Structure 1
Amino acid sequence: MFGTSLHWTTFFYLLIDILIVLLTLYFSKKRVRTSFKRFLILGLLFITYNLTGGLLPYDSFPGPLILQYIITYGVAMTLCVFIIYYLYKEYDIVVLKFNSSIRNLAIFTTSSYIILFLVPYFLTNSLILARLLFTIPISVAIIIFLFIFYNRISNPRNANAFILRRNKLSMISVGCIALLPICTAIGDYQWFTFSVMNMAFFAITAIEIDRYLFFIENNTRMYEVFAFQKKQRDSTVQRKIIYEDLTRREIEVALSILSNLSYKNIAKDLSIAESTVSKHASNIFKKTGVKNRREFLKRFRKRKQIK
């Protein structure tokens, strides 16, 4: 399209991604939170990925051909690492097995690209050989990561439907990342490769929409919590109480506590450590002006008990 290598499917995904980002900006303009910023960055990275990967290589592009591949591969690797970072934040993960922190994953990806792609390319001047040397080891590493991530989030015992859907959609996102090196090794089938990668964005978008609907569905259960927070905010000066909104993770934990789940079961359902649940609960109690779990349940389950 437009006299470039841009495929019509890539252009279609580009328009959808732009629409999602614009809608996110519209709905988040009154709610400045880290989670919205993170999603916006993800959307902008996908737009950049579709543009660079769809338009390049371009014959009239200034500089050597390898520069265009450095740009496209660099954007793709940045996007993949950021998707993993996004999911780490989603599940409160700091590090998985084999010391796979975000920092180490970024270092591993960058060094592999330099050693296994750039060096062989400059030595042999063969793009096909360099691509194979890079994509095969990376594919193996990502597939191993896929299984590790699956074991980390799988088998919640008392999880609600939202958590189960989120786990499935998260696995789709990681699965798409695992398929990217394979798609690259197969060849320049832009319509297929970009369909796979944009599926990861759509899966994460579905998680965010599903979370929003889940919170609306449970709005009645959280009504007294939010109402009490507003009361705190309105009387901050008089009562010297510091007001903060509950984060989306704290809302999930609060809803689980209101369902009378133990911290151990909440940890299993949300695929986080029990100590992390305890930390979130402590923040919830501070923000809502109670001392402990018993007081929280007594105050905010009152409406449910009356019914």
Structure 2
Amino acid sequence: MFRTQIHQLTFIFIVIESLLLIFLLLQKNNPSKFRFVLLTFLFLSYNITSGLIPDEKLGINRLSQDYIAFTVGIACALYLLYYIYTEYKIKPPRIISMRPVLYIAVLDFIFLFVIPYSITDDLNLSRNLFLLVPLLLTITIVVNVFVILIKRLRFQKNNYQTIRGICGMGGAVCLMSLPAVIIIFGDNQPIEHTSFSMGHIFLTIAYITSMNQKSRIPEKNLSKNPRLPLFDKLTDREKEIAMLIIENPKYTYQQLSASIHINDKTFSKHVSNIYKKLELPQRNKEELVDFLRPLYITMTS
């Protein structure tokens, strides 16, 4: 397309991501926005770079072009994983946490792609050698993300959170699709870019859903619900736990802590902070639920 290697589908993703990036830059700043802007920028870079490369017209040798394309792709995939872990507050097993995954990815890229490709000049061989480790890693990651998010979905009665959870699982599957699709289909730009970029689409839906949910709170008249200022003192994690308690009043704290994948001690500490910030004299779950119920109705109506 346009006398380049970019496929029409890749170009569509580039246009969507460019427009989304412009839109995001006009919005108010917050940590989630910053993370999502960076994610969008990396997906845009991935689609442009992998769409254009390799191209003899660029005046760069084929080896260097492939190194650039794979480096951008790896950076995008790693940040996608970081984004899912951070936005969904997932604490994975140590072996698939960010630092070990980063080390494994760098070493794998150097020893199973850069060196073999430099020696053999065989892209297919080097690519398949390199992608076996990421494929196994991403399968493990997807299973872990699914287990955690499905547990949370069992406790969720909030449609916003349900959509976010499903989109998070979709994003994880698309992460796994990158090495899988390249191994199976080889250098097939429309299939590779569509399957991987759908991860960004899923997380865009999750981001918009999250922003829409948060925007409902300021629209309410605080004078009609004096509990909102107290609730606003809570951290994001404490708000999540408070909402989890009111949505599942019959579950024990141990069951609730398991549903969001944190230990009992950490959960109890958050609950203690909730009682303190909400100025509840007695630390009784029924009293907490009674206090939060009108607020919950306000937020979800």
Flag the 1:153–1:77 CA change in 2: closer, same or farther, 3 A: same
Residue in 2 aligned with 1:193?
192
- The one-letter amino acid of 1:38's match is R
SS of residue paired to 2:151: coil
- Alignment: residue pair count: 287
Residue in 1 aligned with 2:80?
83
SS of residue paired to 2:244: helix
Q: 1:118 aligns with which of 108, 114, 118?
A: 114
Flag the 1:124–1:304 CA change in 2: closer, same or farther, 3 A: closer
Deviation per CA, 1:98-154: give whole Å up to 9, x if none: x22201111111111111111111121111111121123322232233223323333
Q: How does 1:217-256 map to 2 (within 5 A)?
A: 224-228=226-230, 246-247=235-236, 249-256=237-244
SS of residue paired to 2:48: helix
Residue in 2 aligned with 1:202?
201
Q: CA deviation at 1:215?
A: 4.1
Flag the 1:224–1:268 CA change in 2: closer, same or farther, 3 A: farther
Residue in 2 aligned with 1:177?
175
**Partner Cα distance (2:272, 2:18) in 1:** 39
Moved more, 65-74 or 256-265: 256-265
- The one-letter amino acid of 1:207's match is A
Deviation per CA, 1:208-244: give whole Å up to 9, x if none: 22223444567769954434478xxxxxxxxxxxxx6
**Partner Cα distance (1:280, 1:205) in 2:** 29
Residue in 2 aligned with 1:25?
25
Residue in 1 aligned with 2:210?
211
**Partner Cα distance (2:139, 2:230) in 1:** 47
Q: 1:131 aligns with which of 108, 127, 130?
A: 127
CA contact (8 A) 2:45 2:72 kept: yes
Residue in 2 aligned with 1:146?
142
User: What TM-score does the superposition give when structure 2 sets the normalisation length?
Assistant: 0.81
Flag the 1:263–1:163 CA change in 2: closer, same or farther, 3 A: farther
- The one-letter amino acid of 2:172's match is V
**Partner Cα distance (1:271, 1:87) in 2:** 15
Residue in 2 aligned with 1:241?
none
Q: 1:166 aligns with which of 164, 167, 173?
A: 164
Q: CA deviation at 1:40?
A: 0.9
Q: CA deviation at 1:82?
A: 0.9
CA contact (8 A) 2:113 2:127 kept: yes
Flag the 1:215–1:64 CA change in 2: closer, same or farther, 3 A: same
CA contact (8 A) 1:169 1:207 kept: yes
Residue in 2 aligned with 1:39?
36
- The one-letter amino acid of 1:145's match is I
Q: 1:72 aligns with which of 69, 72, 96?
A: 69
**Partner Cα distance (1:254, 1:62) in 2:** 58
Q: CA deviation at 1:298?
A: 6.0
Identity of aligned residues (%): 27
Q: CA deviation at 1:190?
A: 0.9
SS of residue paired to 1:154: helix
CA contact (8 A) 1:21 1:44 kept: yes
Flag the 1:263–1:40 CA change in 2: closer, same or farther, 3 A: farther
**Partner Cα distance (2:174, 2:7) in 1:** 19
Deviation per CA, 1:238-283: give whole Å up to 9, x if none: xxxxxx6743x44333323444635334434444444444454455
Flag the 1:251–1:100 CA change in 2: closer, same or farther, 3 A: same
CA contact (8 A) 1:91 1:272 kept: no
**Partner Cα distance (1:169, 1:125) in 2:** 39
**Partner Cα distance (1:221, 1:164) in 2:** 26
**Partner Cα distance (1:291, 1:51) in 2:** 58
CA contact (8 A) 2:230 2:277 kept: no
Q: CA deviation at 1:187?
A: 1.8
Flag the 1:303–1:127 CA change in 2: closer, same or farther, 3 A: closer
CA contact (8 A) 1:267 1:274 kept: yes
What stretches of structure 1 of length at least 5 have no aligned partner? 231-243
CA contact (8 A) 1:116 1:133 kept: yes
Q: CA deviation at 1:168?
A: 2.3
CA contact (8 A) 2:96 2:137 kept: no
Q: CA deviation at 1:77?
A: 0.8
SS of residue paired to 1:155: helix
Flag the 1:304–1:15 CA change in 2: closer, same or farther, 3 A: closer
SS of residue paired to 1:5: coil
CA contact (8 A) 2:160 2:213 kept: yes
